[in-house]
């Protein structure tokens, strides 16, 4: 079955919901706790943040990498369910020009939950003066009738973090 057929099959039925898993260990916070107006005001879509406890980002969904910045600080994913996600490691970390980031995936890669995408040196990023809070953005949040975020709790990689309904 081609990709369109799979999407039609999934969206043609009554949706049971789509789950976005945690891409890293850490504490999940609301957008209001992110010290950057673009993310705090949710200009790019529904946003939450993770204060990372570890040093890696894994795939939170099955899907395709649509873009990984060559600096390793951010990536975008389109899930098999049609969710468009951005994971942005830290604030203003593009300024590091790739220092302290190691990329393990590339544009166009097919991914499944738990696949290692990026490693980063949290301690060195903090020493360089950057906030490591990691915004997670649902760019096409208007497509969903309900978005439930699980903020205010500690998560491990692949714990439930966001639930969406069409």
* Residue of 29, 46, 63 whose CA lies nearest to 137: 46
Catalytic residue among 52, 55, 73, 88: 88
Question: Which residues 6+ apart lie within 8 Å of 112 measured at CB?
Answer: 59, 62
φ, ψ (nearest 5 deg) of residue 106:
-145, 165
Cα 90 to its chain centre, rounded Å, is 12
Q: Is 104 a residue of the active site?
A: no
Query: What sign has the CA pseudo-torsion 41, 80, 148, 54?
Result: negative
- What is the CA 3 to chain-centroid distance, rounded? 22
The H or E element that residue 45 is part of is: none
Spatial contact of 119 and 31, defined as CB atoms under 8 Å apart: no
Residues serving a catalytic function are: 88
């Amino acid at each position: 079955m081609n990709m369109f057929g799979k999407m039609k099959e999934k969206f043609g039925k009554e949706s049971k919901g789509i789950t976005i898993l945690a891409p890293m260990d850490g504490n999940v916070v609301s957008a209001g706790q992110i010290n950057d107006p673009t993310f705090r005001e949710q200009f790019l879509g529904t946003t939450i943040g993770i204060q990372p406890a570890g040093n890696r980002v894994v795939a939170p969904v099955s899907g395709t990498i649509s873009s990984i910045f060559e600096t390793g600080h951010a990536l975008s994913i389109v899930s098999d369910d049609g969710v468009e996600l951005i994971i942005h490691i830290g604030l203003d970390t593009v300024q590091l020009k790739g220092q302290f980031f190691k990329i393990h995936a590339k544009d166009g890669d097919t991914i499944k939950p738990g696949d290692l995408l990026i490693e980063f040196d949290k301690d060195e990023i903090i020493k360089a003066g950057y906030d490591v809070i990691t915004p997670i953005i649902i760019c096409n949040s208007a497509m969903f009738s309900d978005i439930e975020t699980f903020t205010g709790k500690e998560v491990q990689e692949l714990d439930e973090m966001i639930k969406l309904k069409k």
